[in-house]
Amino acid sequence: MPARPCNIVYIATSLDGYIAGRDDDMSWLPQQIDEAEAGDFGFSEFLDGIDAIVMGRRTLEAVADFDPWPYTKPLFVLSRNMRKPPAHLKGKVHCTSGSPRSIVQDLNRRGYARLYIDGGETIRHFLERDMIDRMIITQVPVLLGGGVPLFAELERPLNFLHREWRSLAGGLMMSIYDRDRDA
């Protein structure tokens, strides 16, 4: 993990850079992972190393019914409208809103230093403000041709150092990138 505090993306994408297919289709992901029979690809270990999760409201809706609940750290859902988390997630999920900077400052002040940032729109907002320090991206060998993109246009290029890659079962490729602010 980079020096504290830091904001980290841990996500799976298609070869053409989508995190969900059209109509939020995620069937491409479970199929690949089932075939791989490779556990959780280090997700639990990754969660152990972070302090809290910052997740977009649409992603929360996609995971809200996961059973068992996989997120072992406090989860802060971003929404301009949601005031209360779903009843069954009370105590596990907290609602928040604001700019990426104000959200991070608030969480850092409360002792949450290493933050896992999740959700396409959410990650794109953080990247627009150059507030992502590390990206752990697992590429799935499929072209979805459309859906929810991970990246969008930026005002300027952001350089990253390619730290590590791991070839995973099922043809998945995990890469770790650290933001290079000296480039």
Ligand X SMILES: NC(=O)c1ccc[n+]([C@@H]2O[C@H](COP(=O)([O-])OP(=O)(O)OC[C@H]3O[C@@H](n4cnc5c(N)ncnc54)[C@H](OP(=O)(O)O)[C@@H]3O)[C@@H](O)[C@H]2O)c1
Residues of this chain that bind ligand X (CB under 6 A): 11-12, 19-20, 24, 26, 29, 56-59, 62, 78-82, 97-98, 118-122, 125, 148
At closest approach, how far in Å is the CB of 20 from ligand X? 3
At closest approach, how far in Å is the CB of 128 from ligand X? 11
At closest approach, how far in Å is the CB of 63 from ligand X? 7
Q: Where are the alpha helices (DSSP H) in the chain?
A: 28-36, 43-48, 57-63, 100-109, 120-128
End-to-end CA distance of the chain: 20
List CB contacts of 61: < 8 A, sequence separation 6 or more: none
For residues 7 and 114, what is the distance between their CA atoms, to the nearest angstrom? Answer: 6
- 20 versus 52: smaller Cβ distance to ligand X: 20
- 59 versus 179: smaller Cβ distance to ligand X: 59
91: three-class secondary structure by DSSP: coil
- 120 versus 179: smaller Cβ distance to ligand X: 120
- 121 versus 130: smaller Cβ distance to ligand X: 121
Q: Tokens 């959200």 identify what position? A: 103
Q: Backbone dihedral region of 143: left (phi > 0), alpha (psi from -120 to 50 degrees) or beta?
A: beta
At closest approach, how far in Å is the CB of 164 from ligand X? 19
